[in-house]
Amino acid sequence: MIYADNAATTKLSETALKAMTPYLTDVFYNPSSLYSASQKAKEALEDARARVARCINAAQSEIIFTSGGSEADNQALLSAAAAGKKNGKNHIISTPIEHHAVLHTLKKLEGDGFEITYLPIGEDGVIKAEDVRAAIKEKTCLVTVMYANNEIGTIQPIKEIGKICKEKNVPFHTDAVQAVGHLHIDVQAENIDMLSASAHKFHGPKGVGFLYVKKGIRTVNLIEGGAQERGRRAGTENLAGIAGMTAALEEAAANMDADSAKMKAVRDKIIDGLSKIPHSALNGDAEKRLPGNVNFCFEGIEGESLLLLLDDKGICASSGSACTSGSLDPSHVLLAIGRVHDVAHGSLRLSIGEDTTQEQADHIITAVTDVVARLRGLSPVWRDLCEGKRQHII
Ligand SMILES: *Cc1c(COP(=O)(O)O)cnc(C)c1O
């Protein structure tokens, strides 16, 4: 089997699993207890916090452990909104290609009287930092722009946006769930005020993540209860998960440059191979993209059929088309970068991993080429295109 859906989730690394075991067995204590045995748990928790902080150049006290990326995104946005409301500010700037954890929270805030500006996005899937400057108003209380996109892999100009937000004194949050563990991140150099991350996107366990919140920024609690996380997130800590995340993050950081170079070579081989399929198009900029992301549209086919046939050939992939998730609308990301509905429906995301080989890339190219040809052979839309009854779009 070839697993090419690492943007959806990654396999737990051996190192992470090993780091988790003690906290599921011998060191099972509650970090908040007062007897000496539990001190080991408390120390492990704070050690993990310091180590996670170091990986993004933050301070230990600036890390809040959460249940994952969605929770971190929710807490960041709702915190900035609450602070804005207090100061009479109700304008938020974002992009149309954010993850639903951000987009749905923004929708909720819109219902609460917030005005949201969605920045224009080009065909390349990258926003322009200067558009952020132009959108900032007196009433802006937050800019939230994802670091890297989960569907098309495009990387946004985070440092430039951070600089502008700092100049304008507007808090800047980034959903960095796809970037942490894959790209070098320095929250100080990039002027990031809040950042969301999730362990299962970098070979850590599911159900754990963190929110970086720069010192001085107030948060609101999504979960009330005990005084864990300095009173910012209640609930007995998921210590095993946190230990696994920390080990996975350090491992990813240590291997980042080598892994990235290797993955880019495999990625570009697949992109070259799939580009040879007639009437296909790469989605998102070829350069400003995650090392593991390949995303294509193929005219005249349905993404879901493509996925099923690839599954038969032992390839796990994903489609930007949301039909699989019970809705007929194609991906909001593909529509935002200007793909028309028909074309957006025929999309394929392959998110390769550190261990994807050149041989597997060859297998993927052959399999996708075959399957696309087979589906086109059965497609009335494709026949119309070939007979000139419809115009090719790509
Ligand atoms: C996966 C993902 C999330 C959600 O993270 P969970 O830990 O699964 O809640 C948020 N944003 C992006 C960009 C993601 O890829």
Distances (CA, A) of 382 to 200, 347, 373, 394: 39, 15, 10, 12
pLDDT value at residue 321: 56
pLDDT score of 326:
55
Chain centroid, CA 274 distance in Å: 24
Q: Which two tokens stand for residue 353?
A: 């991993």
Residue nearest to atom 3 of ligand 1 (CA): 69
Q: What's the confidence (pLDDT) of residue 352?
A: 98
* Each residue's pLDDT tens digit, 114-132: 999 999 999 999 999 999 9
Q: Report the b/e string of 243-267 with b at 16+ CB within 10 A.
A: bbbbbbbbbbbeebeebbebbeebb
The verdict on the CB of residue 191 being under 6 Å from ligand 1 is no
Residue 322 has pLDDT above 60, yes or no: no
Q: What is the pLDDT of residue 205?
A: 98
By most ligand atoms within 8 Å of CB, the mutation choice from 174, 177, 333 for ligand 1 is 177
- Ligand 1 contact, 99 CB (< 6 A): yes
- Our CA dihedral for 204, 264, 284, 324, rounded to 10 degrees, sits at -50
Residues in the chain, total: 394
Substitution site in 67, 97, 198, 293 for ligand 1 pocket (most atoms within 8 Å of beta carbon): 198
For each of the domains in the chain, give its residue range(s) and CATH number, in order of start. Answer: 14-252 (3.40.640.10), 256-386 (3.90.1150.10)
Q: Which tens digits make up the pLDDT trace of 181-215?
A: 999 999 999 999 999 999 999 999 999 999 999 99
Whole-number pLDDT of residue 220: 98
More confident residue, 123 or 329: 123
Query: How many Å lie between the centroid of ligand 1 and the Cα of residue 257?
Result: 23
Measured from the CA of 207, which atom of ligand 1 is nearest? 7
323 labelled catalytic: yes
Residue 205 contacts residue 12 (beta carbons within 8 Å): yes
Identified catalytic residue from 55, 141, 323, 386: 323
Residue range 27-58, pLDDT digits in tens? 999 999 999 999 999 999 999 999 999 999 99
Question: Which of 204-218, 286-300, 307-321 bottoms out in mean pLDDT, i.e. has the lowest?
Answer: 307-321
- Is residue 12 over pLDDT 80? yes
219-228, 235-244, 323-332: which has the minimum mean pLDDT? 323-332
> What pLDDT is recorded for position 329?
80
Using CA of residue 260, residue 178, residue 337, residue 115, what is the dihedral sign? negative
pLDDT band per the 50, 70, 90 thresholds, residue 149: very high
Distance 349 CA to ligand 1 centre (A): 16
Task: Name the residue with the closest Cα to ligand 1, atom 10.
Answer: 69
Q: How far is the CA of 10 from the centre of ligand 1 (A)?
A: 12
